[in-house]
Amino acid sequence: MSDIPEPAELLVQQRGPVLWLTINRQERRNAMSHGVLAGMSHAIDAAQSQRDLRAIVVTGAGSKAFCAGADLQAAQAFTVDYSEPTGHLAQLLRRARASNLPLIARVNGVCMAGGMGLLSMCDLAVAASHAVFGLPEVKVGVFPAQVLTALQHLVPRRKLAEMCLTGEPLTSTDALQCGLVNYVSDDLDQKLDWLLQRLLDKSPAAIRRGVYTMKSIETMAFEESMAFTESQIALFTLTEDAKEGQQAFQQKRKPRWKGQ
């Protein structure tokens, strides 16, 4: 199976300062192909050097599915080459982890299995009221192993164990209560735009360095994290945006961010 997505499988669109990555496989409930995963990895990687981009939105086409996980109808749903030590989903999760641009999941419907990996790799998430979430891998004799690496930091341990071991789905209300998403709305795009606007008017430099800092300290012990953040706060204050932000506050005006 090719690593390159079919032209219509993954839509990569820049809308102003936001890059949209849309899985366009509605006939498969936006299930992931290897090409889609490789295409997403490339797009996220390339976006890091584009200073005109401020955020990345990940979503699925239509209104029924965000992503139903791996395409079980495909001959090689989980890997294309057993001699390769890394797989496409793992590579995508690595790219997302290394991104200093915030990723936002627009969960427009069913979010299952590997789709939960796409959700958990994002920094923020907004879900439609009809969205359904789950880890049904045990029902087909496998386990959400790679997804767990990212998901274990989002969901309480016992809820995560229940999801993995029973494979039973969660409603959008359940997902909100256990911290899988930030917001649930009947008007998904209105809420997404509301969230984006509250991000896009802030300092690009602070967000870029801030996302880097948050991800860096997640696995650190307390003293290691404290030493790292002590050095980081000094660097934050040296940016042009920090100087502009303080001047704007003192002069009681809106800041004019340079993103540097």
Q: How buried is 249 (Cβ within 10 angstroms: 0-12 exposed, 13-18 middle, 19+ buried)? A: exposed
Tokens of 150: 């990212």
Using one digit for the tens of pLDDT, what is the confidence trace for 92-103? 999 999 999 999
Whether residue 17 has pLDDT greater than 80:
yes
Using one digit for the tens of pLDDT, what is the confidence trace for 222-238? 999 999 999 898 888 88
Report the alpha-carbon distance of residue 130 to residue 173 in Å, rounded: 9
Lowest mean pLDDT, pick from 68-77, 116-125, 218-227: 68-77
**What's the confidence (pLDDT) of residue 83?**
53
Name the residue ranges covered by the structural domains of the chain: 10-200, 204-251
Under the banding of pLDDT at 50, 70 and 90, the label for residue 2 is very low
Using one digit for the tens of pLDDT, what is the confidence trace for 139-185? 989 899 889 999 998 999 999 999 999 999 999 999 999 999 999 99
In the chain, the N- to C-terminal Cα span, in Å, equals 42
The three-point CA angle 32-135-105 to 5° equals: 55
Percent of the chain with pLDDT over 70: 91
Amino acid type, 68: A
Amino acid type, 242: A
Whether residue 210 has pLDDT greater than 90:
yes
Using one digit for the tens of pLDDT, what is the confidence trace for 43-67? 999 999 999 999 999 999 999 999 9
Under the banding of pLDDT at 50, 70 and 90, the label for residue 130 is very high
- 190 against 258, higher pLDDT: 190
* Angle of the 204-217 helix axis to the 222-237 helix axis, nearest 10: 170
Q: Which residue in the block uniquely carries the two structure tokens 């990555």?
A: 21
Give one DSSP letter per residue of 38-98, joined into a string: HHHHHHHHHHTT-TT--EEEEEESTTTEEE-SB-TTSTTSS-S-TT-SS-HHHHHHHHHHH
CA 145 to chain centre: 18
Report the alpha-carbon distance of residue 3 to residue 228 in Å, rounded: 38
Mean pLDDT of the chain: 90
Q: What is the pTM of this model?
A: 0.89
Q: Which fold has domain 10-200?
A: 2-enoyl-CoA Hydratase; Chain A, domain 1 (3.90.226)
Tell me if residue 202 falls in helix, strand or coil.
coil
Whether residue 86 has pLDDT greater than 90:
no
CA atoms within 13 A on the CB side of 168: 5
When pLDDT is averaged across residues 86-93 and rounded to a whole number, the result is 84
Contact yes or no for 111/119 (Cβ under 8 A): yes
Q: Which residue in the block uniquely carries the two structure tokens 């039973």?
A: 168
